[in-house]
Amino acid sequence: MACYPMSPRHSRMLLTAIQITRKMKDHDTANLVLGYAVATAAALSFSNAFLKHFEGSHTDSNGSEQDGRSSSLGSNKILDKQEKIKIKKLRETTKLSRARFSNSTSDTLTVAYALHFFELSTSPVEFCHENALHLKTMEEMSKLRRQLLQLVFNHHVHELEQGFSWTHGTVEDVEQAWRVLSSKRSTLLNVEDILGQAICAGWVDRVAKRIRGNSGPLEGDRKASAVRYQACMVKETVFLHRRSSLSNSAPEFLVYSELLHTKRPYMHGATSIKPEWLAKYGVSLCSFSTVEDRKPEYDPQTDQLYRWVIPTFGPHLWRLPAQSMPISSDEDRLKVCAKFPELIHSLKQRKRGVKDQKLKG
C-alpha cells in the first residue's frame, strides 16, 4: 500500500479490487471494475458533489411559524419570495439528480455514476447546472480519477511480485470500459459486489449495524423517524441520512466514510455490505469460535482442511454467520483428524482421485 501516494484506506480499496479480479476471465468486466474502483477512490476523496443549499430545508417547512415569531420580535429577516422560489427549485433539481444517478447499494457509487456521465457530457458546466452538482468538485474528482489510474499502471512492474499487477489490459482498455457502461444487469451486479467488498476492505473499521425500531423526533425536528445504527468505533447512536441512496433499503450492515454532526450524527458515504465480508477483511477486529458439532471439510484441489467457525466482530461483539476457514496450523490439522478419523480415509480417496485426473489429463 505504501507504493500508492494516497491514504491507506484508498490504497487498500484499490488493491482489494485488483486482487479480486485477478482470476476473472472476462477482461471487459475486469477493466470496468478497475475503472469504477478508481472513480470510487476519487469520489471518496472529496465532499459530496451534490449541491447542499437546501440541506436545512426541513427547517424551512416550519419556517412560517418561526418567521411569525421572528417578525414579531424583529430579530430575523424573512427570506423574500424570489429567494424561497430559488431554494425550492434547487431542492427539486437536486432531488431529481440524486434519483437519476442513485445506486441503491452505495452513496459513493452514486457519486461515481454521476462522475461517469459528467465525463461523457459535451458541456460539463451545463451538466452540473442541470443536475445540481458542484462544478469545481466534479472537475477535481475527474482529474484525480485519471491520476489514480495512471498510478496503478505506473506501479505495474513493482507490484508484480506482490500479485497486485493489472493483467487485463492497458490504461486505454480501462478508460474504454469505464466510458462504455455495460447494459447487462448481471454484469453490473457483479461489479457492484466487487466494489462493495473493496470499499468494505478500506473502511472496515467504520462499520455500523442497524438497530431495529425507529427513533423519535428530536426537539425542533419535524422528521418523524430516522433509521438508527450502532457504529463499531463510536459510542453514540448514529443515523442513516434520509437523502442517502440506502435510505429505502436500510441494510443490516454498512460502512460509511464520515460522520457529520448536525441535530444528529449522520453517516455519509454509506455502502451496504454483507456480514461475511467483515470476517474476510476485518480479521483483526474478529474473534472466532469453532462449531464443534460440524464436520470439517477438505478441498483436494488446494490440499486444505476447512473448519466451521462463528465470528464475532468489533467491541460490540456482533455475531456473524457461520463460515468455513482454512486450518493453517499442522497441530490443529492433526487434532481435527484425531477427532474425525473418517476424514483420513476421505483425504486419501480425494487425493487419489485428483492424482488420477492429472494423469489422465
Contact 207, 282 (CB under 8 A): yes
| 266 and 187 part of one domain | no
Asked if residue 67 has pLDDT above 50, the reply is no
Q: Are 85 and 54 in contact (CB under 8 A)?
A: no
CB 238 within 8 Å of CB 259: yes
Q: What is the pLDDT of residue 68?
A: 44
pLDDT at 270: 96
| Pair (172, 94) in one structural domain | yes
Query: Are 94 and 170 part of one and the same domain?
Result: yes
Q: What is the pLDDT of residue 90?
A: 63
Cell of 33: 471494475
- Do residue 36 and residue 174 come from a single domain? yes
Place of cell 485519471: 146
- In the prediction, which pLDDT does 130 show? 87
Q: Tens of pLDDT along 161-198?
A: 556 788 899 999 999 999 886 555 556 778 999 999 99
| Residue 359 pLDDT > 70 | no
Kindly indicate the confidence band of residue 71, based on its pLDDT and cuts at 50, 70 and 90: very low
Is the pLDDT at 60 greater than 50? The verdict is: no
Q: Are residues 198 and 215 in the same domain?
A: no
* Residue 72 in this model has a pLDDT that exceeds 50: no
Q: Is the pLDDT of residue 222 over 60?
A: no
Strand pairing category for 237-240 and 265-268 = parallel
What confidence tens digit (pLDDT) does each residue in 30-51 have?
A: 999 999 999 999 999 998 888 6
Q: What CA–CA distances, in Å, run from 7 to 162, 173, 343?
A: 19, 26, 46
Last residue of one domain, picked from the residues 202, 226, 257: 202
Same domain, 251 and 305: no
Classify residue 332: in a domain, yes or no.
yes
Domain assignment present for 59: no
Confidence check: pLDDT of 81 > 90:
no
The CA distance from 325 to 90, in Å, is: 51
Q: What helix, strand, coil percent values describe the chain, rounded to 5?
A: 50, 15, 35
User: What is residue 99's DSSP assignment?
Assistant: H
Range of the domain at 352: 282-360
- Asked whether residue 2 is domain-assigned, the answer is no
Of 153, 178, 202, the one marking the end of a domain is 202
Look at residue 63 in the predicted model and tell me its pLDDT.
38
Distance CA 361, CA 33 (A): 34
Tell me, yes or no, whether 145 lies in a domain: yes
In a domain, 230, yes or no: yes
pLDDT value at position 170? 93
Task: With respect to residue 34, please indicate whether it lies within any of the assigned structural domains.
Answer: yes
The predicted pLDDT at position 97 comes to 66
Least confident span in 154-158, 234-238, 249-253: 154-158
Give percent above pLDDT 70 in the chain. 72
Whether the pLDDT of residue 62 is over 70: the answer is: no
Residue 116: per-residue pLDDT = 93
Note the pLDDT tens digit of each residue in 296-351: 887 777 778 888 999 999 999 999 999 988 887 777 777 777 776 766 655 555 55
Q: Are residues 178 and 299 in the same domain?
A: no
Residue 74 in domain: no
Q: Which of 149, 180, 202 is the last residue of a domain?
A: 202
Same domain, 189 and 216: no
What's the whole-model pTM score? 0.79
pLDDT for the residue 207: 98
pLDDT: which is higher, 96 or 22: 22
- Mean pLDDT computed over 254-258: 96
Least confident of 198-207, 273-282, 302-311: 302-311
Alpha carbon distances (Å) from 110 to 48, 84, 113, 192, 220: 10, 28, 5, 11, 31
320 shares a domain with 174: no
Residue 66 domain flag:
no
Q: What is the pLDDT of residue 336?
A: 72
Q: What's the DSSP call for residue 284? A: G
CA 359 → CA 189, 284, 353, 354, distances in Å?
A: 39, 42, 10, 9
Cα(177)–Cα(29) distance, rounded to whole angstroms? 8
Please indicate, yes or no, whether residues 92 and 133 belong to a single structural domain of this protein.
yes
Please indicate, yes or no, whether residues 107 and 154 belong to a single structural domain of this protein.
yes
Determine the average pLDDT of the residues in 193-207.
97
**Helices marked H in 162-218:** 171-179, 185-202
* Residue located via cell numbers 465525463: 119
Query: 294 and 164 in one domain?
Result: no
Query: 69 pLDDT exceeds 70?
Result: no
Count the domains in the chain.
3
pLDDT at 337: 74
pLDDT band at 356 (very low <50, low <70, confident <90, very high): low
Highest-confidence segment of 102-106, 189-193, 272-276? 272-276
